[in-house]
A and B are shown apart, each in its own frame.
Chain A
Amino acid sequence: MSLTTTMTGDAQIVKVNAERIDAAMAIQFKEDMRAETESGPDRVILDLSEVQFIDSSGLGAIVAAMKQLGSGRKLDLAGLTPMVEKVFRLTRMDTIFNLYSSLSEATAPASANS
């Protein structure tokens, strides 16, 4: 599975270059995320805009990716497509992560909202 990292200001953006995060690739995703985020800024933004489908294995792998960041660092999610958003909402995992409709919203300065 392919992940691409970009650094912006105080955050690391990790883009998932895959149409799905499912049982066939969940373990690989978790390991690749560990490698990508081993060191770096406290804030990691996962860009999910290419991902059209996720199952419970993929959801678990994203939770694992957040947990392996350790305390003091956080994983935010951006660009959720409708099906992915539905799985997060149904499982109430939307209450655990900060969700942004797009990457630009996730990286906008906080003051832009006021």
Chain B
Amino acid sequence: MNIFRSQLRQELTVMARNGEQLLLLVGIPVLLLVFFSQIDILPTQGLTAVAFLVPGILALAVMSTAMVSLGIATGFERSYGVLKRLGTTPLGTRRLVLAKVVATCIVESAQLALLVVVGIALGWRPVDTNWLAATAAVVLGTTCFAGIGLTLAGRLRAEVNLAAQNGLYLVLLLLGGIIVPNDELPKVVRSLAEWLPSNALSELLRSAFNGYEIVVRSIVVLLVWSVATCALATIYFKWSD
């Protein structure tokens, strides 16, 4: 098997072996989607519960794979010396990063497909979908969250990184307009939340799937976060503790 495919297989195997990741990648998004679409207690901005929820949950899925899952696994690889050892082989940084990108995209695609199916089963019917905007939002979101995940993973001790990624996930979930619309947040918090990448991504997806006009500010927010975090990850990443 060639070098790249072998590394890609390793990445996917490690992901598949971490059973606890399954909870994060599938369990939590599906649970939130089913629970809040069946129990209609959320203010959903004039949309049906499921029409409001699905785009947000897709944003959450992107965040869980690209940031938390990738970030935690990479943090542990660093602390176990896996990255250092791979650094002594002909693999090379470019192929390693590419393998991680492709593995993340494969897992993310499966995850998004599953959530869309669950959404449709719950009665979700997207209106006037802007596929271009939705795809662009997912790609930008993936880049941005991977940048955040790898920035933390490249610097923090594995256990601290684990806690930080999970904590950040929760904050970005609650302030990201994913379950609770931004309008419901206190004013000060809301103006802060508007600049969060989770909020920008869920807003973009919600517009794309409901035929709303795409908000340019959300694209700019995601772009700025993407460039900044990828640059930070590149500069500050330490291959070994």
A binds B: no
Residue ranges of A at the interface with B (Cβ–Cβ < 8 Å): none
